[in-house]
Chains A and B, each alone.
Chain A
């Protein structure tokens, strides 16, 4: 029935065609002529009639004939249908396509009308239904026939919905086709429709009663919402987001299997969100419950992630050229195509026909799915036996035993030499060497012997297993047979040898032990000795301490011992012979053959017989059958192309396949890879690829005939399960009955082959030339070994590579790593490929284009090299010349000299040897520190690179809002911050130093020429004055001396910096006001404006105050009316020195500074009554000296270099460090501007807690002896001593890297340091003098953040400036210290939490916790930190002779300099005056420049009565000559150009202990009074 239906379906179409064509021809003929409708009906009737007749005929034929006849009938109409359109057109009598379309529309219209006809017809038919004549088709058949054949239209009411639907589709088609017809046709159609409409009405009327039969009336369809939901639930599915349990995704009763855990490679899965994955899983499970979307591990199968981990930028497209450029034609010259690939021989190379011979001799499976259990064991046994043979052949144990014997003999003969021609010492040495070698060898031998023994044991064990298996299964599969041959030796001799060996070993061991014992004993003795000494010292110390405690009862005694107690050492124990013997025997029994045991020699033979098939069980027989069906062949792939294949050979019962085929590969390409593919065929099925074997490409030296046959192992990862005795592959199986001890073996095997280059006819090996290989370097890089392709193959260390691969955990199963793993496995298995040597940097030679010597000889290269190393001499070297000859040798001279002199101390520049050493040392420390932090300096912060606005916080926002309401031009404008400039793109002349000189106070005034001794002026107060202030000492009486109206002084200020001099206009009076701005250019050293270079500028700004004196030089009084002849003289009054580095770091310096006025200023005195008259209080008037108000800045403002942001390592306790951080954070939060120091960096770059620097240290005894009873005077002296140590900022010495704190002894050794070193030393001295002293961290002018010392003296606090040695009372308004951050004592730190921080306004009582926040408190007690300072300072006595020598030299240098500065004038030296001055200077030193002026002046007057004298002593600490010269230059004494001027210059150096030198220079100019 099914087939019939289908036939009918087929038939339906052709048959349907027939009447249509009939109809068509008729209607079409009618259509154009627009015939009346009546004939149409009659024609329809006729058509109906004729149709019936034919139908009847057909049905009859169908009845009479079989189904097949019906089938045969089909072909007849079919060709008609398949005719070409042209024929069809012919038939329809239309020549053109449009016509046909018209025809179609008409045909449809007709078919409509026709269907109505049919309706009537069928209605008619229903009536005569019961009386069906015989031979006629039954009603049902007819009906079926009708419906099937003529049914493009709706028909019966029964089929109503279906038919309607179909009609709908038909109508759609009609509508689609109705549109295109020609207009003419359309008109006709309208007419026709009208006509047809009439017809239809008639018909419908006729059919009226019948409509009821077909149409049924029903209520409108309505589905309730519940039904709908129900239906939807059936139809729709919302996948859940829940995780699908694994068991649902896997077949029943299967555990998930994780391939990755089994060591197989699984690629990286692409990232998919977990929920999405769950949805997908649920969906898949719902749609397709077969689970084939899921892998073994229960997850959706996924390909590895194809996305690269790194992005690539698409190429930049030039849009402009796009449209036009593409259309433009381009001329391109024809280029001869040169093969770019290296794999093809170039035309330049000799036409190569190179040959590679591949000999494939055979294939052995070490495991195969068809292996029976016995085979598995046999393979194992064979493998072990191979191993045994290999070991036996090498016989390392025997070799080592012999070696041991030989060594022992050597020791024997060495101990008792017959001819002692060598010294005893060397003999002993060699014997020791021998002994150590014996030890080594014995160890090796024991290991070897043990290995031998275990191997033998394993062989026997496997053989036993095999035997039991054969017994168990009652048949044998393999011919393997192991025979153990016993070799009986002479038992007695054997035993003796055994015993002798043991004895020898024991004695050796004993010897070793005794040696060791002796050594230990020696150690013990020394340590005991040490311990004893230590105890003694300890006792002595204790005693001393007790004494010390008695002397200073207030000192803290409870200082813990810094050293730990030494433990008393215990003597070592001697060794026992019996113990050793026992050990040796035990070891021998384990690893050696016992003397009574026979030697066992295993022999493996294939002599056994295999059980024939008929005696085997069925499973085994089927296994053997299976094996027979299998055959194997190999494909040879060259550069991944198949070049040949071996014949297919059946697999033998022993799983060996012999090929014995040699393939001669004629090649043109350089071989990149050589692969063998193992294929297996089972029966007649298609071959399967078992495995790929990669063969190494032979060395160029390997030629045919010489190549050894090698075996390459392969393995396959296929899983095979067999239904017979074969164990399969990749399937676990077990030898045990209970299934324990499971084994999983994969198919594996060995291919024995040899690959070699063939030899041509003339004996030349047919190897591609090397050049060809070289070209292939880059392209071959990825695929093949890069090193081999460059021509130095085989030089890599494959073992190291393998080790690396193992260490880096390369996934061996990852296909990406396959070539590498293959390379490693090939190289490590075939040992002949690994050379015994390893060459470091094997490619270096290839890449060198010039030898090192030649490179070094090149001056240009050297220059470039030095420049890139940033050697200071060459750092900014511009335009390195192109040729060596253009580079002067002179360029390197300085540098080489410096290198040479690094260790040579030269005294020329430094004059004083000690300073020279110190300078060198400082240089070295500096270099090491710089090198240490070089990397840290390279470290950039975002702020260094990018300027970004800070995120405004609420307060700033509020302020800025407030600013909106601010006046545009406030009455008191605030200073606005300038833009800072980073010092990288600056050049000479860009930077200017701006010095604004505002005013000065208390300038010394001239004294009348009439000398009347007055109250002396003091530049620095006596200490006694400070507590016994008596302004009454100054009587205003002496001021009456001044002639009224005479100008007291006409001062002006001269600023000199870097030898540029600027000066202000001249003002008048002792309190002048200039208000002038001076601009001085700044030049960086070597034109290097980098931050590091600017930080190390050592230049100083000298601000000198001069008095301009006008001398009337008119010779003749008569001319006075007509001309003015005056000579201007300038008299130096004093100076202020400000180092450039201070300006650089402070950005601006603003304040009133004390003028450094020489102790003796001849002809000038201080005027004081003015102050008194103005009604200043006594404190104000007490301030001595003169002051100047300055404002200094740099234009543009430079960004000072920042110190290292690196955290330094520390020896401190971690808890302490955390506490310091917390403390600092808290302090910074409260008072961000106050300096708070807890930890500092010492000179070796480690972080140290600050209190460790403070400890009482003894000042030089010499100073203590001066005023033995006056503590205050001693304190002043000590302060002076400290201030004499030269000042050198850390930023200068350490290139701005950081602020390093050196300890006091380092400071005294270096003789240079900045404020904190001075302050620490001074504080320590004060502590040792028994004062209460603290280190005071704060801000001062001009230094900025600095360190001072605070002391408590008789109910008042004194603030000491350690760098100048001056002290100030707390309420001294001229104290340079402006605010106080924190105080540091030897055991605590106090941070200032008072409202104010200027010294006069704060309370220094640190015991009040409301005013001072202490670091160590009750919650964190002082842990008793040991000091970093030394126990005591040791002072060398100063060398008077050296000082005297230095004094002479400085004097000479200065004199020469003064003469140099006066190139146009004659410089005369007044010897008499000089000697007077020289005599006078020591007095000044003794009195520290006080209270001497009047005596001095008297003496000078006495001696130089007829000279007008101007001069002054300068006092400085000594560091170098240059500052002295600068100071003398700054005074401008040499500027006098009066013709008869004479000069006097005297130098005095007073040496203090530790080579601290105080330098006095007296410069004077003399003009003879006439």
Chain B
């Protein structure tokens, strides 16, 4: 492969689904997947994953910690359709049925480096009070036909959602050849970490 003129650029994302804040719920697990455009192709790593079930920490923070690793590499020719990570969190309800606790999505950060993202999570609302009751009672809450719709705009106008909590993600992003192809994603792309600069805190 001629390094002089690359024909694709690479985006390596690793990190983890760190923790979540769901004040009312416990024993949750989360599922992640990536949504990306037609010009993108995963070359290594896993596009999807389901985490272990975590319980609330017994301290004041009441955090649900997963620390579930993400590691995927994409190659692409076009920043259009930049990958988004879609998270969906599930857990048991009062009756022990497995119900959805939140959907959320965020773009993989553009600039290389370490990024922390906190995503607000939401679930679709039932269409009526009666539906709400029966869905609660029967443990069959409304869910998206496909969690990936939360990464798209199409058809979202027909849904109503309620916010649920937050999930914190940590990304370490490495890009290759983006600048060579003319995409400048930030100052750190060119300058790098030169000299004994003090370790920078998370940009976010």
Contacts and interface: CB of A to CB of B under 8 A. Distances in A.
Interface of A: 316, 318-320, 330-331, 864, 867, 876-883, 886, 938, 940-942, 944-949, 951-952, 982, 984-985
Contacts, number: 96
A942 B39 contact: no
Contacts of B41: 878-879
A1263 to B, nearest CB: 52
A949 B135 contact: yes
B7 A948 contact: no
B127 A880 contact: no
Interface in B69-85: 76-78, 80
Contact of B149 (A879, A886, A945): A945
A816 B74 CA distance: 50
B198 interface: yes
Interface string B147-166: 01100001111110000001
B189 to A, nearest CB: 17
Contact of A881 (B7, B80, B118): B7
A1172 B168 CA distance: 78
B198 to A, nearest CB: 5
Contact of A319 (B61, B116, B130): B61
8 contacts: A319-B21, A879-B41, A881-B77, A945-B155, A946-B143, A946-B144, A946-B159, A948-B135
A1425 to B, nearest CB: 38
Question: Looking at chain A's contact residues, is the secondary structure mostly helix, strand, loop, or mixed?
Answer: loop
B134 interface: yes
A316 B166 contact: yes
B131 interface: yes
Contact of A882 (B8, B126, B146): B8
A879 B118 CA distance: 31
B2 interface: no
A865 to B, nearest CB: 12
A876 B144 contact: no
A984 B35 CA distance: 13
Contacts of B38: 867, 876-880
B144 A951 contact: no
B62 to A, nearest CB: 10
B58 interface: no
A32 to B, nearest CB: 56
Nearest to B148: A985
A330 B201 contact: yes
A864 B78 contact: yes
B191 interface: no
B140 to A, nearest CB: 4
Given A882-B77, A882-B181, A945-B145, A940 B198 contact: no
Nearest to A947: B143
B128 interface: yes
Contacts of B7: 881-883, 886
B142 A946 contact: yes
Contact of A316 (B118, B145, B157, B198): B118
A470 B156 CA distance: 76
A942 B140 contact: no
A1235 to B, nearest CB: 28
A115 to B, nearest CB: 60
Interface of B: 5, 7-8, 19, 21, 38-39, 41, 61, 63, 76-78, 80, 116, 118, 120, 124, 126-128, 130-131, 134-135, 138, 140, 142-146, 148-149, 154-159, 166, 168, 181, 198, 201
B102 to A, nearest CB: 14
A951 B145 CA distance: 18
Contact of B155 (A879, A882, A944): A944
Contacts of B157: 940
A982 B7 CA distance: 35
Contacts of A941: 158
A945 B144 contact: yes
A985 B152 CA distance: 14
Contacts of B138: 949
Nearest to A984: B146
Given A316-B118, A880-B78, A940-B155, A947 B144 contact: yes
Q: Which 7 A-B pairs have the closest CB atoms?
A: A940-B155, A948-B142, A949-B140, A882-B77, A331-B198, A946-B142, A942-B158
Given A319-B21, A320-B168, 10 more contacts: A331-B198, A864-B78, A879-B77, A880-B38, A940-B154, A944-B145, A944-B155, A948-B124, A951-B131, A951-B134
A1090 to B, nearest CB: 13
A330 B200 CA distance: 9
B146 A985 contact: yes
Contacts of A331: 198
A1086 to B, nearest CB: 13
B39 A878 contact: yes
Given A318-B168, A883-B7, A940 B158 contact: yes
A940 B146 CA distance: 14
Contact of A952 (B124, B134, B168): B134
Nearest to A877: B38
Nearest to B38: A878
A319 B158 CA distance: 33
Contacts of A947: 142-145
A879 B77 CA distance: 6
A939 to B, nearest CB: 9
Nearest to B123: A946
Given A938-B154, A940-B158, A951-B134, A946 B77 contact: no
- The listed residue with most B CB atoms (<10 A of its CB), out of A867, A945, A984, is A945
A880 B75 CA distance: 12
A1153 B163 CA distance: 55
A326 B93 CA distance: 37
A945 B77 contact: no
Contacts of B131: 948-949, 951
A877 B77 CA distance: 12
B26 to A, nearest CB: 18
A940 B159 CA distance: 10
B124 A946 contact: yes
A886 B6 CA distance: 11
Contacts of B198: 331
A172 B166 CA distance: 56
- The listed residue with most A CB atoms (<10 A of its CB), out of B76, B78, B135, is B78
A878 B38 CA distance: 5
Contacts of A319: 21, 61
B201 A945 contact: no
- The listed residue with most B CB atoms (<10 A of its CB), out of A941, A948, A984, is A948
B77 A880 contact: yes
A335 to B, nearest CB: 13
Contacts of B8: 879, 882
Nearest to B63: A320
B177 to A, nearest CB: 10
B126 to A, nearest CB: 7
A985 B201 CA distance: 39
- The listed residue with most B CB atoms (<10 A of its CB), out of A879, A881, A985, is A879
A1304 B78 CA distance: 51
Contacts of A946: 124, 142-145, 159
Contacts of B144: 945-947
A946 B8 CA distance: 37
Contacts of A951: 128, 130-131, 134
A867 B38 CA distance: 10
A878 B81 CA distance: 12
B118 A318 contact: yes
Nearest to B198: A331
A4 to B, nearest CB: 69
A949 B154 contact: no
B43 to A, nearest CB: 12
Contacts of B127: 942, 948
A878 B75 CA distance: 12
Contacts of B201: 330
A882 B143 CA distance: 38
A985 B33 CA distance: 13
A932 to B, nearest CB: 20
Nearest to A883: B7
